Amino acid sequence: MKKEEKHRILILGASGFLGGIIYKELCSYFKTFGTYHTQNKNYEKNKHFFQYAVEEDDIYEILNAVKPTIIISALRGDFAAQVIAHKHVVEYILEHKSWLIFLSSANVFDAYSKYPSYEDDKTLSNSIYGHFKIKIENMLLRLPKKHVTILRLPMVFGPQSPRILEMLQNLKNNEPVEVFPNLIINVTNDSKVTQQIHYIINRNKLGIFHLGSNDLVHHDEFIKEMIDTLDSKNKAIYKKVFTTNEDRYLAVLPKHNLLPKHLQLSSQEIISELKYN
């Protein structure tokens, strides 16, 4: 298949869980490049991959080598260094009229516990992680709209997600799985996130998107249902973690910037997909 010339895509954090599946989804359609951090022989040999340490390297060198028209940020690493790296990315996108797709988190709302949050709600966080995501979001929201898409993600599951792999490992080792009975969340999975991002690129969708399920679930009930689906042999031990006495919401519901029906999801779809995996 001939790759579209329309875009050159650079994924920051392409060796990670989300960066990796986004790379797989896009690389047959676009010239796609990525960064990795941890030493890895396969990436070293691959000309589409660049080793990058956010605390040490200047992202500008990779940007100048790849000349992406789209940058997808799926990084982890030191927060202060990430803020500086994103400043450099912003300089690049303004200069080269390109587009940044930033993976943000439901944690930008973690100081609001009484309601779920929508795209236009004011962000507020009590956590260092949430503060850091807000700082980058605010920097991006000051730019002309045509340069930026912010994707706020809830917890992302999927058969190969670190969260599920860790739970299955706990189960095997007879160790407890942590659940938060008071926490009301929405959720998503890796396959839906990649389809959504592909659509957002094809249709040039800009602004803020909440990429979570349309429905809300209690964290403990959802995790138990997933475990029952994945492993019927081992009996799970649950460790209930209560952070408050009252129910607390951490949910990014889509309302204003809706994707087409087939790209929306319900929490049950995540369970069903695990069943048939």
Ligand X SMILES: NC(=O)c1ccc[n+]([C@@H]2O[C@H](COP(=O)([O-])OP(=O)(O)OC[C@H]3O[C@@H](n4cnc5c(N)ncnc54)[C@H](OP(=O)(O)O)[C@@H]3O)[C@@H](O)[C@H]2O)c1
Where do contacts with ligand X occur on this chain (CB under 6 A)? 13, 15-19, 36-38, 52-55, 74-77, 103, 105, 153, 155-156
Nearer to ligand X by Cβ, of 147 and 163: the residue is 163
Nearer to ligand X by Cβ, of 38 and 204: the residue is 38
Q: Give rounded-to-5 percent helix, strand, coil for the chain.
A: 40, 20, 40
Q: Give the type of residue at 219.
A: H
Closest distance of CB 159 from ligand X, Å: 14
Nearer to ligand X by Cβ, of 137 and 220: the residue is 137
* Separation between Cα atoms, residue 134 and residue 21, nearest integer Å: 25
Nearer to ligand X by Cβ, of 16 and 254: the residue is 16
Nearest to 10 by CA among 96, 145, 94, 22: 22
Residue 7 DSSP label? E
Nearer to ligand X by Cβ, of 75 and 100: the residue is 75
Nearer to ligand X by Cβ, of 155 and 227: the residue is 155
Closest distance of CB 51 from ligand X, Å: 8
84 φ, ψ to 5°? -65, -45
* Separation between Cα atoms, residue 181 and residue 18, nearest integer Å: 27
* Separation between Cα atoms, residue 264 and residue 92, nearest integer Å: 32
* Separation between Cα atoms, residue 140 and residue 82, nearest integer Å: 13
Closest distance of CB 62 from ligand X, Å: 11
Q: 230-246 b/e with 16+ CB inside 10 Å = b?
A: beeeeebeeeeeeeeee
Closest distance of CB 191 from ligand X, Å: 14
- CB–CB of 190/158 below 8 Å? yes
Closest distance of CB 232 from ligand X, Å: 25
Residue 155 DSSP label? E
When CB distances to ligand X are compared, the closest residue is 16
Nearer to ligand X by Cβ, of 30 and 130: the residue is 130
Other residues' Cβ atoms within 10 Å of the Cβ of residue 142: 9
Closest distance of CB 254 from ligand X, Å: 15
Closest distance of CB 47 from ligand X, Å: 17
